[in-house]
A and B are shown apart, each in its own frame.
Chain A
């Protein structure tokens, strides 16, 4: 279903093309395009590597956070109440019910206030702000923060509902659940935002002349914000206790648990970060690209191709792979735009061949 709309759209835009010749101007433009998209894919690739390393979940719904982030912001600007707010409230109630039941049965009544605060009160406050503030009239920064506040808490809630009960299951089961969550979220996305795409207002209308190349302000925003986010993540993992706890869990779950690190906490934290990165990526590109309720999936998968290039383990390699995907996509859209997706997703094959040939064959029993 997801591809029907897109396919139809693709058909309009990829009608017979005049023969094109590459010159430096076009190459620079395409390169700029590729790097901007690549930066977004790189952010997503980092989040995917993070989630996989910590929880062994291959996080297919990553892309839905991109779409939710962008479309929630777009809804604000269109003066509408985004449907994601209902999802936030609903998921909060569900988590609260489950956690409260467990707490009551286990005699942990003291945990109840905290459960209610995190899952009921906070979403309630966020919803209150959305309803009474008219977010579309707020300054850009406040709009973005509010959109993130709506979307990001969904990350840990989804972890709690879908993945935490299966934390010890095999990678395969987790992957199937991941795909199931992706489907449900795409379906909800259609329900919340409709089939029409949206764009948001650019962060800045400025544009700069770089030789013959025009660089617009949003491009710089994307690149700058991505760089800042990547550095922030590096500092988080390198310098903070929680960052180190996540790394420890990624290396050895049992060992980390024996050292008093809660794997549940680690799972929720990594999902929160992934949701944050995803939603923020969506907000960054929404002024450049029209975002549909199902756009996130393909964007997320391209981040995946980058992450797979890195074998789902190395952060710098994942970022480099993602930039490569971005460039490949933008140049193939010039030469063979109808086959753009085919080319990008076929890139995975030589990568897998190379990985397969260099893999040390160590049997892991699951």
Chain B
């Protein structure tokens, strides 16, 4: 209850504020609300997803112009205007997303700069949109017969929409899709290996951010009752980004703080700066520009984390609720062929990292891939799991050719992996990190997450993650930040995450590195248990005691080629292997 107090006070102030505040402040609050809706989209896009758009103002413009044009020229209902605006925005943003999001990160912002400028000039030059004078006489909005013809009345609509959007965004982030979104920043490769379609996820958040902007534009048009191109130029698009960054781009409430601060500051600076400089002009941009540089240099997280420190501490989650277990995949018959690599070659430019590699893994066996450093073992792993496909040759999994498939498609077929260089999301807790592994075992989408209709599925996913954490012995760290674990435990966490996808083949890249003796024993025990359940395990490892005590078969690589294969004791006595590891015996 105490933790919720600030929120309740805030809501009460919002509810009763307009009744006592003078008109000027209500207007200011209306604008803050409108801007915060747009900034909220940028929090999702930039702060959480790591993408940026300078063109949000143009989306606001689409929403505003769509309803203004339709309601004045064709006298349709404003609600149809809203739908039309959302439709146009969706089409444009999907198109822009498709052409830029497959390219590296900076093409989206550049594309949105160009698009922001051209849309601005288009608004200003198209005759039926009123050119630079714009469209006047936009009708008053009516909600259930209640005419919203003053700022005071409109205020409630704006803030209801904003708070609804805040709640929906928060719900979304705390869900299966939300974990995928949070994995975009710094974890795309891992997320793809866990079955997340990152390209689709990027387009989804770009679309959501654009739709928020469009709704804000619709509200703006019916509040102002006229539109012209000025508020939809690139400059304002940049200001929206300022709001998100200054407020705290990684937090939904940061959007509100940023929008409030920048709007008030701008108002204030516009009054004062011309007096100081003795001439007219919008000099507040100088101030904003410098402020943003300083914020990014000194406090990249923005203001919100400071605000949080002033509030009562939130209670930490203590336990995961029990839930019905998820359905499991049918395990292959022990001894049946899971994976077959045939004549696989991998070249990087002129460098041949893998040359004519052949190996097989059966259900219910541990196959170890060993060799000196630089032998090409991790490259082989990347070829098999689709992270970096083979140049030539074949990879078959459960009888089906998988070379050329995306890594998430391979994950869907029942292969899961860990990484030599641990790939976790260090600021998310251990449980959430593991739950990314279960991504493919849920199917509820963004809408149901935003509306909290996926709670049953979410509970099952989290319960499964907790179960896997218990299995690997990390149950005590479930709610710790993943980045706070020692490296050895981070590797174990990766195994739990891989297990969460219910694989029939597990690829482990140096799982025992950084573990202490007892921990290695426990890991070996776990792998034996998995093998007994019929799982196939392909293992890269340098700890020979660990490998030889565990593996059923061993393949030895050197210089990208297989130099030996057989039972552990055969390989250990193979002179070629001894030479590779110890140098020639003359």
Contacts and interface: CB of A to CB of B under 8 A. Distances in A.
Nearest to B131: A11
A173 B296 contact: yes
Instruction: Among B122, B124, B230, B300, find the residue whose CB has the most chain A CB atoms closer than 10 A.
Output: B124
B289 A175 contact: no
Contacts of A183: 235, 238, 285-286, 288-289, 292
Instruction: Among B114, B277, B286, find the residue whose CB has the most chain A CB atoms closer than 10 A.
Output: B114
Interface string B266-287: 0000000000010101111111
Interface string A188-209: 1011001100000000000000
Contacts of B117: 298, 301, 341, 345
A348 B114 contact: yes
A345 B283 contact: no
A171 B105 CA distance: 8
A14 B124 CA distance: 12
A115 interface: no
Contacts of B241: 176, 179
A236 interface: no
B78 interface: no
Given A181-B289, A338-B125, A342-B118, A190 B283 contact: yes
Nearest to B245: A176
Interface string B526-550: 0000000000000000000000000
For chain B, give the interface size range: 35 or more
Nearest to B107: A352
Interface stretch (A239-247, A256-264, A315-323, A354-362): A354-362
Interface in B326-354: none
A148 interface: no
Contacts of B100: 352, 356
Interface string A298-319: 1001001100100010000000
A359 B103 contact: yes
Nearest to B113: A301
Contacts of A171: 104-106
Contacts of A231: none
Interface stretch (A1-9, A20-28, A128-136): A1-9
A330 B492 CA distance: 63
Interface in A316-366: 338-339, 341-342, 344-346, 348-349, 352-353, 355-356, 359, 361, 363-366
Given A176-B296, A180-B293, A191-B283, A2 B233 contact: yes
Given A4-B230, A176-B241, A356 B102 contact: yes
Nearest to A1: B282
A116 B561 CA distance: 60
A175 B99 contact: no
A180 B288 contact: yes
A176 B52 contact: yes
A179 B230 contact: no
Nearest to B98: A356
A176 B292 contact: yes
B125 A339 contact: yes
A162 B298 CA distance: 11
A349 B285 contact: no
Contacts of A364: 104
A330 to B, nearest CB: 17
A59 B333 CA distance: 59
Given A182-B289, A195-B281, A301-B113, 15 more contacts: A161-B293, A166-B296, A172-B105, A180-B296, A183-B235, A183-B288, A190-B283, A191-B281, A301-B117, A339-B121, A339-B122, A342-B121, A348-B114, A352-B99, A365-B189
6 contacts: A7-B124, A171-B104, A173-B296, A176-B52, A342-B122, A363-B188
